[in-house]
Amino acid sequence: MSHSSRSQTHQALIGVGVLIVGGLLAWGASGLPEGVGYSGVGPAVLPWFISGALMLCGVLLLLQALRGGYRDLEDGSGAAHGNWHALAWIAAGILLNATLVERAGFILSCALCFVLAVRGLRLSEGKPGGGVRQVLIDAFTGFAIAAPAFWLFTKVLAINLPGLTQSGWI
């Protein structure tokens, strides 16, 4: 099997994998209640939307792989081999998020996850992890991403996420 043929097979498997993930998400969404929340949409709307988008992406990836492979594919920016140090930072972010979300609230635990994951991603590309200034910028960015997501879920979709205060705004 030639390198190009093997590459196309791997690319087709990626498309199939995305289709499977989208299908599993749709299957999970089918078990969510159809009830309508405060804003007129129920808790199943977002999972159905995401599953549909994933399945569309999976079909497009599969078609592109079967028609000659991904076009204009650039070389990866990471190292040729896995970077266990970088993986440890990312895994720590995910595990701490899962551990702290009930105690520190959704926004702070997600911001911490973002800080640690971004550091790991930088290290995986051979870049410096960043000093105190970069950690503060990453923390602000993580907060800026997590806060609107928290408010969207709690205030618009009426889905309870753990907050730091009883007011529901943090």
Asked whether residue 99 falls in the same domain as residue 58, the answer is no
| Position 134 in a domain | yes
**Residue 90's CB: how many other CB atoms inside 10 A?**
19
> In whole angstroms, what is the distance from residue 106 CA to residue 152 CA?
12
Structure tokens at 103: 């105690």
Q: Could you tell me if residue 166 is inside a domain?
A: no
User: Does residue 79 lie in a domain region?
Assistant: no
User: Which residue range is the domain that position 92 belongs to?
Assistant: 84-156
Is residue 51 located within the same domain as residue 100?
no
Provide the phi-psi class of 72: left if phi over 0, else alpha when psi is between -120 and 50, else beta: left
Check whether residue 54 and residue 94 sit in a common domain: no
The count of structural domains within the chain is 2
Domain C-terminal end among 33, 66, 99: 66
Mean pLDDT of 27-53: 77
Q: What is the pLDDT of residues 9-37, one digit of tens each?
A: 888 999 999 999 999 999 988 887 776 65
**pTM for this model (two decimals):** 0.56
Backbone angles phi, psi at 69, to 5 degrees: 100, 170
pLDDT digits (tens, 9 = 90+) for 100-134: 888 888 888 999 999 999 999 998 888 887 889 99
Residues 56 and 109 in one domain: no
- Check whether residue 54 and residue 101 sit in a common domain: no
Mean pLDDT of the chain: 83
The verdict on residue 76 lying in a domain is no
pLDDT tens-digit series, residues 77-91: 655 677 889 899 999
Cβ atoms of residues 142 and 136 within 8 Å: no
- Domain contains 169: no
Asked, for residue 161, whether it belongs to a domain, the answer is: no
Q: Name the percent of the chain lying above pLDDT 90.
A: 40
Question: Using an 8 Å Cβ cutoff, are 20 and 60 in contact?
Answer: no
The Cα–Cα gap between 29 and 95 comes to 25
